[in-house]
A and B are shown apart, each in its own frame.
Chain A
Amino acid sequence: MLKELFLGGKKEMEVIDKMKKHMGFLCLACTTLKAAIENRDKELISSVSDLEREGDIVRRDIFSSIYEGAFLPFLRPNICRFVEIVDNALDVTKDAAIEYTDLELDEETKDDCARIADISAKMCEMLLAAIETLSGRADLREKSLAIRIYEKRVDEIEFDLIKRLRTKEIKNFWEGKALSDFIRDLTSISDLIEDASDYLQIINISLR
């Protein structure tokens, strides 16, 4: 089987382990962001920034390993793109966390934002499970579908949240901008996870 031939090597397995580690940081960052929003605990924000920095280190390490010879050349661009998207998701998670520092959300908005962060964390866990299936024989389609279902839920919450927020009075420009940027970044996490899942599907198909 091609999969075993392309993924069975020591270098390839090392890269997959690093990809899992990278994803693990994203999972943890989303869970931390959720806890920060849910408990209005702004001290957790610095942990999200730390996780993003750790993620950057692993990303560089993955790229080095790939260009030192892991995987056949035709697979490398898609693997690198996947890692870049996961890294972008870590960046926007950190941005959302920093923007949250200066925000005072009302109860309803806080609940919606915590739900979005919670769903994003579940999507990360599903994507992590999907990476694990890459080196096995299990079908990736089920995981990909679950990620799309989660993303649709985030879209629904976002739609209602934005509709409601537009009716609220904003007292000054910067307060409105911070809130708008926070919602944009918070909802981008799930978009990026969905994109990453699509790339994983492409990688999986290339291995058939």
Chain B
Amino acid sequence: MKVEEIMNKKIEYIEPEATVYDAIEKMVDKRIRSLLVNPKDEQDVHGLITVRDIVFKIINKNLNPRKIKVGEITSKPLVCVAKDMPIEHVMALMEKFNIARVIVYEEKKVYGVVSLFDVMSGSLIEKAREGHSA
């Protein structure tokens, strides 16, 4: 199974200058667990902020999410894959870098995101298809 079949195209962006509280609000409103952080300038690259970053880097340390900028806790660089990559490679990357999300890039543009849950669902569907043309 290829990445394209399991990826989620629902991607939300946030500016690095926004506060972590803004990020939390956006995640709750949109029912998502990560946001793509826009580059600060032309030399910069995209980053990622996840619920995990917020819990471990802010809440667990009793820091005030209203006073900390998203850019301060953003993970960079992103681990990216092509949309035609098999999900086995994605699993290997996730294990190697101990991450739960990879970004799908196409023609230098963000195309989608694949989470651990997507990989698990994809693997289960693939298993169910075994021996059938579905």
Contact = CB atoms under 8 A, between A and B. Distances in A.
Q: Which label, helix, strand, loop or mixed, suits the secondary structure of the A interface? A: helix
Interface stretch (B57-65, B67-75, B76-84, B119-127): B119-127
Interface string B107-134: 0000000000000010011011101111
B134 A145 contact: no
Contact of A142 (B8, B121, B124, B133): B124
Given A142-B127, A160-B10, A129 B121 contact: no
A126 B129 contact: yes
Interface in A118-139: 122, 125-126, 128-129, 132, 138
A129 B124 contact: no
Contacts of B121: 149
A150 interface: yes
Interface of B: 8, 10, 121, 124-125, 127-129, 131-134
Given A128-B134, A149-B125, A156-B8, 8 more contacts: A122-B134, A125-B133, A125-B134, A132-B132, A142-B127, A146-B124, A146-B128, A146-B129
26 contacts: A125-B132, A125-B133, A125-B134, A126-B125, A126-B128, A126-B129, A126-B134, A128-B132, A129-B128, A129-B129, A129-B132, A129-B134, A132-B132, A138-B131, A142-B124, A142-B127, A145-B128, A146-B124, A146-B125, A146-B127, A146-B129, A149-B124, A149-B125, A150-B125, A156-B8, A160-B10
